[in-house]
Structure 1
């Protein structure tokens, strides 16, 4: 396993920020780490990157314990915190050289690696600018570049697209996808489209406890309790007749001749709705079952949490 978290607890004073959580991330996986504000995401990431000690439990990165072997762990991790700490007075290339030297790179190897990472992160045109002159989107690219400069096996990204505009979000999302092909990635986000576009697995944490840990498609299936179907008829129908269809739980008229039907997921009621319309000689203009999204799942799992 690239990352193994076992029975991890972190207490600040009288508050349990993390309460006995466990999960694993395999080599090459992209894990979406989700939860409301204050759920414990950043605290978990700070422990995994050796910035905070755990109160109880263990975290291993590439088989190395974050407490016993913290110096070695740092060599295997690239970390972009939520508040991207950059030396704004430095030039982009100068800054990446500085970070590379911290990781022990030097000479031709350092120059080659800086050249490669500038190209990879789309910073070629900005490399001779001061960081303070860059847009937030480009500053995030510099943050990703510093996290990658030593070619780590594991990337941990805490809210990497916070505060970016839609175009910048897409750019950073594509960048993460490109650089993660041979790495293990954990990233936290509130943007559900990113999770669906990038992640193999999802861990959802709420009030310091893990409430879901599964592949995205499996998570959708296991949390789905009802099906919601929108049906439009060519003329008025008897709502009571729709309610009598086996599996239908609720019928709500949303427009003239248009209804929202809530049904049990145990039985697909769509054929029965079609047959009902045919038996009454009523034209069926449309029938669409609402897709379960990761956003629906997140809201269901974190009810009562501190949602942003």
Structure 2
């Protein structure tokens, strides 16, 4: 682990569904200033791990802490430090973009000018000003993804957990989101779940690979690429075209 303070601590995290073990004894930590790529083929346990870290799913065993707060024992303090973009981030589709983000901001405890400032800043970061008065349901998949990202960034959290943050974005939008992640990286601990190696190479300082619920590698992107021949099955799954992996 880096000498920096770990803002995310996952220790022996396990999740079973009946006889099926989706996540099996996973341990890793992420320090401030790190962008961790959480890699694995579909069904590897990535989303389940992230849902447990975010407090959306209770682990069968093990612990997860955000800024020192246990997500099970102290869920509200833990979530104050967390910005979470889940897969298929839920919204209220009939709300406008501005209305939805104002709703999220009020839920976070912001009011008046502070609320307006937070919403405006989040929309500027995710380039949503042009659609701010449109109902969310009328937006493209890429814009909906950016609305979810704006909601995750609204309260300027110390920890960001992003599940496939560029899913549905066109190449220019992907570039913009990756630049945004890089600009925030020095002050936050960021986890990006993805099956796209290009994403890891573009923004991540470190990568953890999970397969069949277990961590099989924890290294820098360059070290991970060098291990490719010894991890053939995982890498074949990771490098499939997105249309096949979906």
Do they fold alike, i.e. is TM over 0.5? yes
Q: CA deviation at 1:129?
A: 1.7
Task: For 1:148-297, list aligned pairs within 5 A.
Answer: 148-221=153-226, 223=227, 296=228
SS in 2 for 1:100: helix
Confirm or deny: 8 A CA contact 1:93 1:127 kept in the other structure.
Answer: yes
Whole-Å Cα distance in 2 between the matches of residues 190 and 10 of structure 1? Answer: 21
CA distance in 1, matches of 2:33, 2:51: 21
Distance 1:214 1:303 in 2: 14
2:14/2:24 contact within 8 Å kept: yes
Q: What corresponds to 1:89 in structure 2?
A: 94
1:31 is displaced (CA, Å) by 0.3
Q: TM-score, normalised by structure 1?
A: 0.72
Conserved? CA contact 2:160–2:190, under 8 Å? yes
Q: How many residues align?
A: 235
Matched, 1:302 2:234: yes
Gap change, CA 1:103 and 1:177, over 3 Å in 2 = same
Q: State the shift of 1:301 in Å.
A: 5.8
CA–CA separation in structure 1 for the residues paired with 2:229 and 2:91:
35
Larger radius of gyration: 1
TM-score, scaled to structure 2: 0.89
| Residue 48 of structure 1: how far off its partner (Å) | 0.4
1:209-249 Cα shifts (integer Å, max 9, x gaps)? 1000112223334x2xxxxxxxxxxxxxxxxxxxxxxxxxx
Report what 1:55 is aligned to.
Answer: 60
Aligned to 2:116, what secondary structure does the other structure show?
helix
Q: Which residue of 2 aligns with 1:258?
A: none
Deviations 1:136-189 (A, max 9, x none): 222111111100111111010111222333333223323332343422110111
Label 1:73 to 1:28 Cα distance change in 2 as closer, same or farther (>3 A).
same
The structure-2 alpha-carbon separation of the partners of 1:39 and 1:129, relative to structure 1 and needing over 3 Å to count, comes to: same
The structural deviation recorded for 1:303 is 6.6
Distance in 2 separating the partners of 1:203 and 1:105: 35
Q: Which residue of 2 aligns with 1:72?
A: 77
SS at match of 1:110: helix
Change in CA separation of 1:297 and 1:97 when aligned onto 2, cut-off 3 Å: farther
Shift of 1:133: 2.2
* Alpha-carbon shift at residue 302 of structure 1 (Å): 1.6
1:302 match: secondary structure: helix
Quote the Cα distance in structure 2 between the aligned partners of 1:113 and 1:55: 36
Unaligned runs of 5+ in 2: 1-5
For residues 167 and 103 of structure 1, what CA distance do their matches in structure 2 show?
31
Hey, what's the Cα distance between the residues in 2 that align with 1:297 and 1:180?
A: 30
1:119 aligns with 2:51: no
Which residue number in structure 1 is paired with residue 141 of structure 2?
136
Q: CA deviation at 1:106?
A: 0.8
SS at match of 1:47: helix
Which structure would you say has the larger RCO, counting Cα contacts within 8 Å and 6 or more residues apart?
2
Deviation at 1:300?
2.2
Higher helix share: 2
